[in-house]
Structure 1
Amino acid sequence: MYLPKSFHETRPEVLQALIRAYPFGTAVMHGDKGFLANHLPFELVSDALLHGHVARGNELAKADGAPVLVMFQAADGYISPNWYPSKHETGREVPTWNYAVVHVHGRLRVVNDKAWLRQLLERLTDTHEANQPKPWHVGDAPEDHIESMLTHIVGIEIAIERIEGKFKLSQNHPDANRAGVRKGLGERNGRRDSELLDLMQQAEERRRGG
């Protein structure tokens, strides 16, 4: 990943926070027919491990020991040069795109342990059902149905060897331009603009806090 210094994020707590907030990742590996990409939710269980699960027919289920890249992406959005005060002064600005991503490089381990899988599914479900009025739990389904489902999936564990982040949030612009972008996002209020605005505000707070 191209990483200009202005956008290179290295703080583990910031990278881990993005993964937890946006756990649906893209796992990329090289197979017999070239690059393969699979999209699935992950659980960051520690600063060194990702857990997930896939169908037994998935290429990842047959890739024990393979190197993988998992990409996590937060909100993103188009940035208009009209939002920059400097554009109105000099005209020397162009459109761009703001976004935040984390890349995890590691090695895959396939897990066939039913107890391990059951615990993973319970944790994932409890996490993502937490804001429901009446959260669904794995135990709500008939036990024979759960047992049957467990035979059709495998667990995957990725030992993290390297993690890097790119937070392109207008850090290369002066304060006035960054303020203009935040104002523009707030006024446009598109599908993910509020999330992107939150990311920019968090970056500003970290910048002011050192």
Structure 2
Amino acid sequence: MYLRPIHSEHDIPTLHALIEQVQLGVLVTALPGPTGKPAIQSSHLPWVLDIDIDTTDQDGDGDGEPAYGVLRAHMALANPQAKALAACAKEEDGWLVEHEVMVLFTGRDHYITPQFYTETKPQTGKVVPTWNYESVAAYGKARVYHPRRQPETSEFLDTQLHRLTDQAETRQTSLQTCWKVGDAPTSYVQRLKGAIMGVEIRIERLEGKWKMSQESGEGDRAGVVAGLMREGEKGEAVARIVQERGAAKER
């Protein structure tokens, strides 16, 4: 991720909050294919972030670094990326894939037209369109829970499916009654479980980017906020972040 200092976010709780808010992240891998050359693959997957782990020494080396958390998801066995992960997982290492992977989460975003720059555009005209957005990239190594790995895989998927469903039903819908995995026939769920595998990533580094007009002057930022406030609910949400980030810049 290209990170200018003015756009970088390093606060771990803030990065965690975006991951939990977005939930849907893109798993990106570059694993050796049949020819031995890396093949870039990606999949959109909903993730569960577990931060209830040792927050003082994640890797056990005694350096006291903060823990970044663990990401867990599942994917279809028929997915070529799942096949590549399973092929690279070393059973003797606990089904760990010794290649770094990335999960990219993109939060709120909006197009920024030059018309919003009420200070610079009238004065010089030296403005161009851009895009405001917030994103987090999580990096680490993937551990695979494949049907060949039992009973760990069955236990992992049982926990994952229930946690993922409960999380999504409470955060992503406004319904009064939440759907539960137990609402579906047990035989149906078991059959579907046989067609998926689990993925677990202990995060080794996190990068956050909040590109929210911090590079613009106060007058242009005010114009961006005013313009976004006219763009409906999506624009209003981004406008509030522009205000927050602008205020932090001025402090």
Could you state the TM-score of these two structures normalised by the residue count of structure 1? 0.90
Output the CA distance in 2 between the equivalents of 1:159 and 1:111: 14
The Cα shift of 1:207 comes to: 4.8
* SS state at 1:92 partner: coil
Alignment match of 2:102 (pick from 55, 69, 77): 69
1:170-209 to structure 2, matched below 5 A, reads 170-189=213-232, 192-204=234-246, 206-207=248-249
Amino acid paired to 1:53: H
Output the CA distance in 1 between the equivalents of 2:249 and 2:50: 28
The Cα shift of 1:23 comes to: 1.2
Please tell me the root mean square deviation across aligned C-alpha atoms, in Å.
1.9
Alignment match of 2:70 (pick from 12, 25, 49): 49
Alignment match of 1:81 (pick from 99, 114, 120): 114
Give per-residue Cα distances to partners, 1:75-106, cap 9 Å, x unaligned: 22211222122222332222211111111111
* SS state at 1:93 partner: coil
Give per-residue Cα distances to partners, 1:156-204, cap 9 Å, x unaligned: 10111111011110001122221211110111227x3233224324434
The Cα shift of 1:206 comes to: 4.9
Output the CA distance in 2 between the equivalents of 1:185 and 1:96: 13
* SS state at 1:35 partner: strand
Output the CA distance in 2 between the equivalents of 1:144 and 1:197: 48
1:125-164 to structure 2, matched below 5 A, reads 125-130=165-170, 131-164=174-207
Report the number of matched residues. Answer: 208
Give per-residue Cα distances to partners, 1:89-135, cap 9 Å, x unaligned: 33222221111111111100012421221111111111111232221
User: Which moved further from structure 2: 176-185 or 56-65?
Assistant: 56-65
1:19-58 to structure 2, matched below 5 A, reads 19-31=19-31, 32=33, 34-46=39-51, 47-58=68-79
Output the CA distance in 2 between the equivalents of 1:136 and 1:10: 36
Distance 1:36 1:88, change over 3 A: same
Output the CA distance in 1 between the equivalents of 2:191 and 2:78: 15
Output the CA distance in 1 between the equivalents of 2:245 and 2:238: 11
Percent of pairs identical after alignment? 35
* SS state at 2:176 partner: coil
